[in-house]
A and B are shown apart, each in its own frame.
Chain A
Amino acid sequence: MILRLLSPLFALSLLVAASPAQAQTAANTRTVIEVGSPDFRPYPIAVPEARDMAGGKTTATGTEVTNTLRFDFELAATFKVLDPKSYLADPTKEGLAAASIKFTDWVSIGAEGLVKVGLTETGDSLKADFRFYDVASGRQLLQKGYAGTLKDGRRFAHTFVDEVIFFLTGSKGIFRTKIASVRKVGNSRELWVMDVDGSNLRQITSNGSINLLPNWTRDGGGVLFTSYIRHNPNLYSTPLAGGRPTLVSGERGLNTGGTMSPDGKKVALTLSRDGNSEIYTMNPDGTNLVRLTNEWAIDTSPTWSPDSKRIAFVSSRWGDPHIFVMNADGSNVRRVTERGNYNQTPDWSPKGDLIAFTARDERNVFDIFTVNPDTKEIKRLTQDQGNNEEPSFAPSGGHIVFTTTRDGGRSQVYIMAVDGSNQKKITDAGGFNTPAWSPYLE
């Protein structure tokens, strides 16, 4: 009787005690809305022709330096290089020092930044003086001098663009990194390496076999790849400087998609030694093999999170191939793409917030998307421009390299900003596959 009487009192007291907390939770969930500026435009920058400090004429090196600067600033996506035809100043007469620059001429064409370059060529040697000005104030913001040979002109330009980007944003520039890719050579497929602007293209394997799926070692000194040199798809490592490839994994069946963890302690790869494609990890020297997945379906294409604690991969365990994420020990597997029906080739951003992947959409076209591994939000980056595949993040996480057939014929390598904007072609030769962006090299 007493208990029956007390029960409602208890319930009432609990209700009174709990209500404020519940009400607080409900009321205090504050919505956050992001509003982007509708009239955002990139930083307008003028890059006049590099000046030959000795003769005043435009040299081949000067043209190469100028073109490299213009390409890099455009590629960076936060700059708009103003059309050189609109420049009012005569670059052969205007000097490098602030006192000799008529800034009103640069203000008139809408420039806010101005890059001036002076080159001194003596025989094979080259001295370069790079300066960056704020046009409105006429103030010199940055000056760098470099010395080397005539071959170094392009490298100097890449270095200076990195310096300007670091000065303005505090983030490291990407223009001294490299891209490895597979390209068909006769009946074989060999590995090639190029600069971010597609220049300095050179072949790093020449074994006459089928070489596939390059991935950089953590120090950027070499490339892991799968090769049929010994008639089985084994995993090798080759130094960038050249030399014989070293066997990393030669298990029976597939040894593919080798990718080194960001801390450099492990290599994740796909093996089919037990009959079915599964994800494994091993030490970089091939020892301590650990199986992470054990499914009837295909598990493949591992990619590491930047903290080396998680691995994203492709699995068809739920029917269609989708992107999954698991802990680095194989636990806590969860699906992160729940849309589309053919998602593959994941690459985890060095920033950790996104995984880029290739997906076939309902029009049977391959395009590039990103997915946030935590919220599962998917964004499309390419659309209506041929097939676009095999994304790989720059070490900054701000750009993505990929291959595309948009130009017709053989696939080319393109680079775009991480939001899909500013897509630029960097190769002309064609026939490239599976590009992989290096880590920072300097």
Chain B
Amino acid sequence: MTDLLKIEWLKVKAYRTFWILSGLFLIGVPLICWAYESILLNANQMISAYLSSFSFPKVWETAAWLGSWMSPVMGILLIISLTNENNFRTVRQNIIDGWSREQFFFAKYGTMVSAAIFMTAVMALTSLFFGLKAGRGSMGDGTEFIWYAFVQNMTYLSLAFFLGIYMRRAGIAIAIYVMYTYIGEMALMGLLEFKVKFHSSVFLPLECTDRLIPGDSGIVRNLVREGGAPPSKTTLQLIAFGWIILFGFLGWRKMKQSDI
């Protein structure tokens, strides 16, 4: 696996788009946290104190929640990296040069997991920075949100991975991805929650992890709740892993069986 990742690194280490989008995520996560912190502090000191969004332990959740708004940036990078291989037909060349189809798949999947680790690290460091700045609470509490952030990053990236493998054109895949992550799933969630059954939207691929890390939106969610116990964190994680495995399996099957 290390050898596969080294070759994947060769493919991107001098690729400008890779550095621009990764840099955008790296800067974007603390920036969005900073902006939210500024809004809370300037809007109402009481609300800010009540929420304690940037104090330990809540800051772990807040940074993961706000950071998820930047997650599609890394998803777009993954889609570009996968569709490039199709458009340049380098996926063919990699196989011709001596990779098996499984090796190609695992090189890409390994890249995706590495990206999820990078995203989680950025969110964790951002939490640490803002938490220490606030200077309240115990740093050791609430660290399970680092794991939840990783699971959330994996679901966002798995969806991108699936689209990148199945769609040849980067533009269309990115458009579908962005529309779905920012608008599509929100609309589906509303329909499922209020027209079908409350809490049925937890089975959507991104909603399951959005509920794992509700952040301050949890207050709004509680306000509109019509009753019924929400699914447990374990259930939400199981649903998330169900999607991660499904997207991974579909990608593997396509890679293994189809003409390239």
Chain A complexes with chain B: no
> Which residues of B pack against A, CB within 8 Å?
none
> Which residues of A pack against B, CB within 8 Å?
none
